[in-house]
Amino acid sequence: MTAAIETSGLVKTFGPTRALDGLDLTVDTGEVHGFLGPNGAGKSTTIRILLGLMRATSGRTILLSSHILAQVENLADRISIVRDGKIVETGALADIRHLGRTTIQAGTTTPVTGLQDLPGVHDARIEDGGVRFSVDGEHLDAAVRHLGGFGIRSLVSHPPTLEELMLRHYGKRHGTGDAA
């Protein structure tokens, strides 16, 4: 029989908290499967990952033969985020990514200074031969220009994921933990 839901080695961490610790689950097509546990056990986190509302830290998920979040990010022409019965953001993923933070990792020829003083820069960490930080979309240009003064050797940019964009709208009020 074909599995309707399958997770393998599913891990999700929130900072130091490991909400899912290598969860393996298979639910066959047509099977009614009870998913039980106390608050904080990981039920809602698992469901959010399966629905593509949250990205796993590691592991593999399949829902109805689809890798949901990866397919949404790669295939959807437009995305709408619904909250409290209303669409709060809609548009192409590329167009709404400016609403989140881009992660930058840069190798530089000289140590980077003053980055933490720039508006919109968060979590700046000096690393071996460079720096890693996140920056609000509207401040990305200024942050990259600042790095230019330190001799950029390498530059890797990760735009906000669909999960991060969702959490922008749901994270504060609904929380990111497992309360169901």
Q: According to the model, what pLDDT value does residue 29 have?
A: 82
- What amino acid occupies position 97? R
Q: According to the model, what pLDDT value does residue 88 have?
A: 79
Using an 8 Å Cβ cutoff, are 39 and 180 in contact?
yes
Domain containing residue 137: CATH number? 3.30.70
Q: Do 71 and 113 reside in the same domain of the chain?
A: no
Helix (H, G, I), strand (E, B) or coil at 167: helix
Q: Could you report the per-residue pLDDT of 72-90, keeping only the tens digit for each?
A: 677 677 787 777 667 778 8
Q: Do 111 and 44 reside in the same domain of the chain?
A: no
Examine residue 170 and state whether it is found in any structural domain, yes or no: no
Q: Into how many domains does the chain fold?
A: 2
Q: According to the model, what pLDDT value does residue 39 have?
A: 85
Q: Could you tell me which of 177, 152, 168 has the C-alpha nearest to residue 97?
A: 168
Q: Do 20 and 53 reside in the same domain of the chain?
A: yes
4 contact partners, CB below 8 Å, separation of at least 6: 27, 28, 29, 30, 31, 63, 64
Q: According to the model, what pLDDT value does residue 178 have?
A: 36
56 contact partners, CB below 8 Å, separation of at least 6: 10, 11, 12, 20, 49
Q: Up-side HSE of residue 15: CA atoms within 13 Å toward CB?
A: 2
* CA gap 73, 79 in Å, rounded: 9
Examine residue 129 and state whether it is found in any structural domain, yes or no: yes
Examine residue 83 and state whether it is found in any structural domain, yes or no: no
Q: Which helix (H) or strand (E) holds 176?
A: none
Q: According to the model, what pLDDT value does residue 174 have?
A: 42
Q: Do 2 and 54 reside in the same domain of the chain?
A: yes
Question: What is the pTM (predicted TM-score) of this model?
Answer: 0.55
Q: According to the model, what pLDDT value does residue 67 have?
A: 55
Q: Do 1 and 70 reside in the same domain of the chain?
A: yes
**Neighbouring C-beta atoms of residue 25, cutoff 10 Å:** 15
pLDDT lower than 50: segments of the chain: 172-180
Range of the domain at 147: 100-158
| Chain position carrying tokens 């990866």 | 70
Q: Do 52 and 122 reside in the same domain of the chain?
A: no
Q: Do 43 and 106 reside in the same domain of the chain?
A: no
65 contact partners, CB below 8 Å, separation of at least 6: 2
Q: Do 65 and 2 reside in the same domain of the chain?
A: yes
Q: According to the model, what pLDDT value does residue 102 have?
A: 93
- What amino acid occupies position 115? L
Domain containing residue 4: CATH number? 3.40.50.300
